[in-house]
């Protein structure tokens, strides 16, 4: 069912979240608009966890296609290219604040995609991408400790009369002394990315506090929308940790490891050396089955010995011994140090097949082929009479 909510921000700015109209097959979808900017954000997660991994497989994609600005690619390239630098950086801005808010034991492959449907020439739609992704995750059945809200704050005005501006336009950002992106929940700040022109620390702190007030409004609006049309969250089985083993390791090397990681007392390279020393000491105490395996050269030596003997004299299953030459030897494997030889007759047969293909595929090379065949026939080559007669028929 279609639901929407509009949130009023400082300075008369508005953000509208809408769900139930587009991308209804996704786990969660939110169509976010602000002015003439519109972004569709969707969130989808696989039903089953991915086996054999110890990390959260999250993929975030943000795209600004040219049709959002009313243009179509033309000229030599008539298709959309790879993501631009701006799109990649915006994808990272979406990924950073939401990744820590998933349960630690959640291992389902998750994709968050934000497409810009409409973009004006005044406001940057990247803020809508972050807010839309947060709303889509909150509406879905994917376990997510959110929602989060995102606000860009500028510091615009005459010297001595500057004031904070929510989501400044491109023109205002040119004269702004501060450009800071703040993302957070209703309880705290999750991510801050900022750039400033030598402003005092109090101005930056004031901008973060000003942004958090607006973030609380966004989070409250998303929670209201979730109450009306949100899905029930999945249950995640928590990870099983061996607390006894962790306590034993902490009592054994906890103090030493803490001291080794203190870069104020130890320079960086000395800290690395001490940490490596602790790791090597712990590896010695591991059971033999859990110790890291080292590649042995015994198997390689046996393989080399057998292949070197096979290169000189090979015995077939019938018991017949075939002498092999080492003149046309070539390696069968990059790991093998011996060379497996190829019989001269087999080599000539391969050359005949190759030249036969060339003869039928390239008639213009017939004269060169004949000259080569004549020189080969004159040499001590093991071509039988039947073969020569067949090739002579082909020439005719």
**DSSP letters spanning 262-306:** -TTTS-HHHHHHHHHHHHHHHHHHS-GGGSPP---SHHHHHHHHH
* Whether 224 and 270 share a structural domain: no
Give pLDDT, residue 158: 85
Please check the confidence at residue 124 and state whether its pLDDT lies above 60.
yes
Average pLDDT rounded to a whole number, residues 248-273:
87
Q: Do the domain assignments include residue 300?
A: no
* Whether 103 and 252 share a structural domain: no
* Whether 255 and 335 share a structural domain: no
* Whether 213 and 332 share a structural domain: no
pTM for the model stands at: 0.66
Q: Cα–Cα distance between 15 and 326 in angstroms, integer?
A: 78
Q: Do the domain assignments include residue 247?
A: yes
Residue where a domain terminates, one of 229, 263, 295? 229
Q: Which structural domain range is residue 329 located in?
A: 307-342
Give pLDDT, residue 328: 42
Q: Cα–Cα distance between 290 and 255 in angstroms, integer?
A: 25
Q: Cα–Cα distance between 242 and 249 in angstroms, integer?
A: 11
Q: Do the domain assignments include residue 238?
A: no
* Whether 88 and 150 share a structural domain: yes
* Whether 38 and 112 share a structural domain: yes
Please check the confidence at residue 40 and state whether its pLDDT lies above 90.
yes
Average pLDDT rounded to a whole number, residues 199-205:
91
Q: Do the domain assignments include residue 288?
A: no
Please check the confidence at residue 47 and state whether its pLDDT lies above 50.
yes
pLDDT bucket at 335, cuts 50 / 70 / 90 = very low
Average pLDDT rounded to a whole number, residues 90-107:
94
Q: Do the domain assignments include residue 215?
A: yes
Give the Å distances, CA to CA, from 180 to 37, 159, 164, 176, 222: 20, 19, 11, 10, 23
Give pLDDT, residue 366: 52
pLDDT bucket at 353, cuts 50 / 70 / 90 = low
Nearest to 106, CA basis, from 142, 135, 60: 142
Give pLDDT, residue 345: 56
Q: Do the domain assignments include residue 299?
A: no
Give pLDDT, residue 383: 41
* Whether 193 and 273 share a structural domain: no
* Whether 77 and 160 share a structural domain: yes
Helix (H) / strand (E) containing 333 = none
Q: How many domains does the chain have?
A: 4
* Whether 162 and 248 share a structural domain: no
Q: Do the domain assignments include residue 289?
A: no
Give pLDDT, residue 78: 79
Give pLDDT, residue 19: 94
Average pLDDT rounded to a whole number, residues 43-64:
92
Give pLDDT, residue 341: 43
Helix (H) / strand (E) containing 113 = strand 110-118
* Whether 154 and 252 share a structural domain: no
Q: Cα–Cα distance between 7 and 154 in angstroms, integer?
A: 20
pLDDT bucket at 318, cuts 50 / 70 / 90 = very low
Q: Do the domain assignments include residue 81?
A: yes
Q: Cα–Cα distance between 353 and 96 in angstroms, integer?
A: 60
């Amino acid at each position: 069912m279609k639901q929407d909510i509009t949130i009023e921000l400082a300075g008369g700015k508005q953000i509208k979240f809408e769900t139930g109209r587009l991308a209804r097959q996704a786990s969660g979808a939110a169509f976010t608009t602000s002015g003439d900017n519109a972004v569709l954000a969707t969130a989808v997660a696989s039903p089953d966890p991915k086996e054999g991994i110890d990390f959260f497989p999250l993929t975030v994609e943000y795209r600004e296609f040219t049709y959002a600005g009313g243009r179509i690619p033309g000229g030599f390239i008539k298709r959309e290219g790879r993501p631009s630098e701006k799109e990649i950086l915006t994808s990272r801005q979406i990924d950073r604040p939401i990744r820590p808010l998933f349960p630690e034991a959640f291992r389902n492959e998750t994709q968050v995609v934000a497409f810009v449907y409409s973009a004006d020439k005044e406001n940057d739609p990247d803020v809508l991408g972050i807010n839309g992704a947060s709303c889509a995750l909150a509406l879905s059945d994917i376990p997510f400790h959110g929602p989060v809200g995102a606000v860009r704050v500028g510091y615009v005005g005459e010297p001595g009369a500057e004031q904070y501006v929510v989501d400044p336009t491109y023109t205002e950002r040119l004269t702004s002394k501060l450009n800071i992106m703040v993302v957070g929940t209703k309880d705290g700040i999750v991510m801050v990315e900022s750039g400033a022109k030598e402003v005092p620390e109090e101005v930056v702190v004031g901008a973060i506090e000003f942004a958090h007030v607006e973030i609380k409004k966004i989070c409250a609006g998303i929670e209201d929308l979730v109450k009306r049309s949100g899905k029930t969250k999945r249950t995640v089985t928590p990870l099983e940790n061996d607390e006894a083993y962790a306590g034993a390791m902490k009592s054994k090397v906890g103090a030493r490891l803490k001291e080794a990681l203190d870069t104020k007392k130890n320079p960086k390279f000395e800290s690395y050396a001490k940490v490596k020393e602790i790791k090597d000491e712990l590896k010695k105490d591991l059971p033999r089955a859990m110790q890291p395996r080292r590649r042995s050269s015994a198997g390689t030596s046996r393989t080399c010995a057998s292949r070197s003997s096979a290169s000189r004299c090979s015995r077939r299953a019938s018991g017949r011994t075939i002498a092999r030459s080492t003149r046309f030897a070539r390696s069968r494997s990059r790991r093998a140090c011996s060379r497996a030889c190829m019989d001269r007759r087999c080599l000539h047969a391969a050359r005949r097949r190759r030249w036969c293909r060339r003869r039928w595929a390239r008639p213009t090379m017939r004269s060169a082929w004949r000259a080569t065949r004549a020189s080969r026939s004159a040499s001590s080559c093991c071509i039988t009479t039947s073969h020569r007669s067949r090739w002579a028929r082909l020439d005719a």
